[in-house]
Chains A and B, each alone.
Chain A
Amino acid sequence: MTLDTVKRAGETPEERQPFVELGMKDDEYQRVRDILGRRPTSSELAIYSVMWSEHCSYKSSKVHLRQFSAKAPKSEALLVGMGENAGVVDIGDGWAATFKIESHNHPSYVEPHQGAATGVGGIVRDIMSMGARPVAVMDSLRFGGADQPDTRRVLPGVVEGISHYGNCLGLPNIGGEVAFDPCYIGNPLVNALCVGLLRKDQIKLATAPGPGNKVVLFGARTGADGIGGASVLASATFEDESQAKRPAVQVGDPFMEKLLIECCLELYQADVVVGIQDLGAAGVSCATTELAAKGTGGMHVDLNLVPLRDPTLRPEEILMSESQERMMAVVTPGDIPAFMAICDKWDVPATVIGEVTDTGRLVMTWDGEVIVDIPPGTAADDGPIYDRPIAEPAGQSALNADGPERLPRPDDLLETLLTLLGSPNVGSKEWVTSQYDRYVRGNTVLAQPADAGMLRVSEVMPGAQETSRGIALATDGNGRYARLDPYTGAQLALSEAYRNVAVTGARPLAVTNCLNFGSPEDPEVMWQFSEAVRGLADACRTLGVPVTGGNVSFYNQTGSAAINPTPVVGVLGVIDDVARRVRSGFVAPGLRVVLLGETRDELGGSEWAHVVHGHLGGLPPRADLRAEQELAAVLAAAAGEGLLEGSHDLSDGGLAVALAESCLAQGVGCSVTLPCDDAFVDLFSESAARALVCVRPEAFEALAELCARHDVPCYGLGTTGGTTLSVEGVFEVPVERLREAHTGALPAVFG
């Protein structure tokens, strides 16, 4: 096989190159030729094709995502914003938290176990590369209908992949979501979130400064896995050829990742790292171009030095390989011995493969010949940008006109509650979450089924300053709401995650997002995307929580059928005294049950319409951001003053489901009277900005005053206690009967 060198490329300008097969358009290929002043070598083509793929370059989303910065609220907490591997926020006492959510949707459809496992592995390395110790993971999962045959293939594999990788890695899985809708049958959504903690003064960045500094590749050896994964898998719609693409999915080794974590933390502690970057999509191509572009500007790499698992790999394949559990660091020559000794201690292979230069060029050699010679920024930052056409979907106004008003409302409200509780979306997710270790590392304060996960910050790094603080995290999304109105749907996803953090007593601080959509080449999908981004950016500004990073996943469609637009939003909050955390649900008998927030007749896109009538139409609930903010302020203040014994947010299935879940939390019943005269609306409306809390009777007055000051409606509904859920004049049901309905849903399908 002829080695395609830079010299040869200059001599053979007319040679036909497989840019179309690599997912590049004619004009993109021409642009590479213009940048280089010649045709690219095959290795250079490999680099540009992966770096300019939708997945790596955000070429269709960039023009919209800019709003996250342009509209960003002022936040003193923000230490590192978008554009790095993950955002970093100040959580006080010298501590910082870094967090990010990322999709691994397509690989998880092709190969559920490995696709989901490597999704966890990839996001964990993003967090590590910021200088942090990863401390927890969460997963936001969406599958086709629970009763559809392929869901029985995809879901168990995905859960097993997350379970195996995360458990073996030693990170507690503290929350997330599992939802079902037939629209995801060919495109499951597997969004993985990781959070890490670090000292504020120890942030690491992906940069390669200082000519003469060494470039070290460490971790697993490079193999043939995932070659072309970034451009082939993540950027193309699949039809019926997923079997043929199986080898393109990466295979993970969580044991190596665990060693990498401990190794990296020891490297940081020893202060022998100048810059660091994980190897994710596009592997060595991405790491070298991004590090070089953000540093002094040049780098020389000898690709022959890359340690290989498969010695037959060609340079183009080495550049595109997505082998997992690899990192790249920039290290001063003097620190190399110390760096290598630490890697050796953890049995992590490490190899110097090049050095930083001040030439402004990324140069790579193979067998002594130059095969890459490019300005790194042209691949990393100057990819094509598309302002794609936008068109409101043809059926959108008809969809919005077809509201839930026409649906017959039930007489037997208990029957409706039991139906909802027993449905896959509302039912217990224990079948999934009991496969995840939620306790490891010993800092888990709250985990699923609590509204948000919460971690103690102290004792994360031995010897570091003690603090009473904790962090809380939640992810939410609702594709049905977003289908009805993507602008509002995105705001509701943020509102719910924000509220879920608030009900634990924490103050929401910052946002990460994973935007799951169909093809950007479809103007109707692009309309949904642009509306969702606009809604989310506006809501972040109003709520004062900046977007710190995230990920866009396009092409979630099979044939012409796209998924419901599904923006998934993660919110991170901080609680000053973690011992003041508010537990989930009714924690003891004899407490006052209080509903906070206003209930309106809002059933468009609701769980009731979906489960009982299979109906999707009308408009979603109003996103009342001011009310959301005031509610969160009440909850934080009340928790801080020790007024709250338990809490639960109101969302899918409304007050009825919230009451039932609150009873189920500790097996404590309650007896309540509804505030308005329409029991159905009271129980099943999904109005946002509402929460259920329980307080000691003597604390009720103080809570009511606090609510009055914040203009948050506050209704005493009744008291906790007994073994039934009793709604005055409507129904009374044993908590055990609720439990049967709630726990039976998933085991009935998945065994």
Chain B
Amino acid sequence: MSAARVGVVTFPGTLDDQDAARAVRLAGAEAVPLWHAEHDLRGVDAVFLPGGFSYGDYLRCGAISRFAPLMDELIPAARAGLPVLGTCNGFQILCEAHLLPGALTRNEGLHYVCRDQRIRVENARTAWTADFAEGQEIVLPIKHGEGRYVADAATVAELEGEGRVVFRYAGGNPNGSLNDIAGIANEAGNVVGLMPHPEHAVEDLTGAPGVDGRGFFTSILKRLVNA
């Protein structure tokens, strides 16, 4: 049986791509590097948009990346059901690409924040969260300067009403996000974006204390194998 293939995208200025690829491999899948400048998804089964400062965050976080040639392929594929996970800058890119609603703005405290953050899983029905239990609290690192989720009242009401708020900050909101939102999904649940970093919580030796990030990767693998 060939392993599930998860693409990891590198834009100029992407930083967590090596970490994302490692997390994919540790879960038993094949990590396939995807290059921003190519119109080619290389036949992957799912895509991970890692964090970083793509294009230096110039103009606005994720605003330039959404126009990359690769995104011309990724956007329709995601709309057609390809599982996509965006963390941190990846989340910002998904919002800029309108695969997810709303936007991420400057943290309330105006400082970049790196810390181990408690997060509550609100929706365990997405492609990337099925291995968690709803209401479960996990610890993942956050590290961002622009992670404050904002959207108009109608959008937030819709997200809440449809159960599309996937993660909420617990034990203190680090950035002033509306409704403590840490991550959301699209209507179909195949596209998930969050500010915390599951790829930095998959090993005992490195990253955050604990291995709560593994659930993301086991979730998607089970889904791909059973598909």
Contact = CB atoms under 8 A, between A and B. Distances in A.
B111 interface: yes
A642 interface: no
- Which of A168, A258, A439 has most B Cβ within 10 Å? A439
Nearest to B57: A168
Given A170-B52, A438-B114, A444 B207 contact: yes
A304 interface: no
A459 B203 CA distance: 13
Contacts of B206: 439, 442-445, 456
Contacts of B197: 439
A715 interface: no
Nearest to B14: A170
B207 A167 contact: no
Nearest to B208: A439
Contacts of A167: 53, 112, 143, 145
B113 interface: yes
B19 A441 contact: yes
B135 interface: no
Given A168-B57, A254-B53, A456-B206, A442 B199 contact: yes
A440 B15 contact: yes
A209 to B, nearest CB: 33
Interface in B107-159: 111-115, 141, 143, 145
B5 interface: no
Interface in A217-256: 253-256
Interface in B25-40: none
B227 interface: no
A255 B114 contact: no
B56 A440 contact: no
A442 B200 contact: yes
B225 interface: no
A347 B199 CA distance: 28
Contacts of B19: 439-442
A259 interface: yes
Contacts of A164: 112, 145
Contact of A439 (B58, B145, B200, B205): B200
A578 to B, nearest CB: 7
A459 B22 contact: yes
Nearest to B58: A255
Contact of A578 (B13, B111, B200, B205): B205
Contacts of A312: none
Contacts of B52: 170
A439 B12 contact: no
Contacts of B105: none
Contacts of B15: 170, 258, 440-441
A454 to B, nearest CB: 10
Nearest to B202: A442
A746 to B, nearest CB: 12
Given A439-B200, A440-B16, A579-B205, A253 B56 contact: yes
B109 to A, nearest CB: 9
Given A255-B13, A347-B12, A439 B55 contact: no
Nearest to A579: B205
Interface in A577-626: 578-579, 581
Nearest to A437: B143
Contacts of B208: 439
A259 B114 contact: no
Contacts, number: 90
B173 interface: no
A interface, size bucket: 20 to 34
A168 B18 CA distance: 15
A437 B205 contact: no
Given A168-B53, A346-B12, A437-B143, A163 B112 contact: yes
B112 A258 contact: no
A530 B203 CA distance: 48
B18 A439 contact: no
A347 B22 CA distance: 26
Nearest to A444: B206
Nearest to B115: A434
A30 interface: no
B205 A168 contact: no
Interface string B1-28: 0000000000011011011001000000
A168 B207 contact: no
A160 B111 CA distance: 8
A202 interface: no
A436 interface: yes
A440 B143 contact: yes
A347 B58 CA distance: 15
A556 B144 CA distance: 35
- Which of B143, B145, B206 has most A Cβ within 10 Å? B206
- Which of B55, B57, B114, B141 has most A Cβ within 10 Å? B114
B53 A434 contact: no
Contacts of A259: 12-13
B112 A439 contact: no
Contacts of B12: 255, 258-259, 346-347
A164 B143 CA distance: 12
Contacts of B112: 163-164, 167, 435-437
Contacts of B57: 168, 255
Interface string A142-169: 0000000000000000001001100110
Contacts of B13: 168, 255, 258-259
A435 B53 contact: no
Interface string B39-71: 000000000000011011110000000000000
A346 B36 CA distance: 11
Contacts of A444: 206-207
B141 A456 contact: no
Interface in A432-464: 433-445, 456, 459, 462
B114 A439 contact: yes
B114 A436 contact: yes
Interface in A241-290: 253-256, 258-259
A435 B114 contact: yes
Interface of B: 12-13, 15-16, 18-19, 22, 52-53, 55-58, 111-115, 141, 143, 145, 197, 199-200, 203, 205-208
Please provide the 8 A-B residue pairs with the shortest distance between their CB atoms, ordered closest to farther: A255-B56, A170-B15, A442-B19, A168-B53, A439-B200, A437-B143, A435-B112, A163-B112
20 contacts: A163-B111, A164-B145, A167-B143, A168-B53, A170-B15, A170-B16, A253-B56, A254-B53, A254-B56, A255-B58, A259-B13, A434-B111, A438-B114, A439-B19, A439-B197, A441-B18, A442-B16, A456-B205, A456-B206, A459-B18
Given A168-B13, A259-B12, 6 more contacts: A164-B112, A164-B145, A168-B57, A439-B141, A439-B143, A439-B207
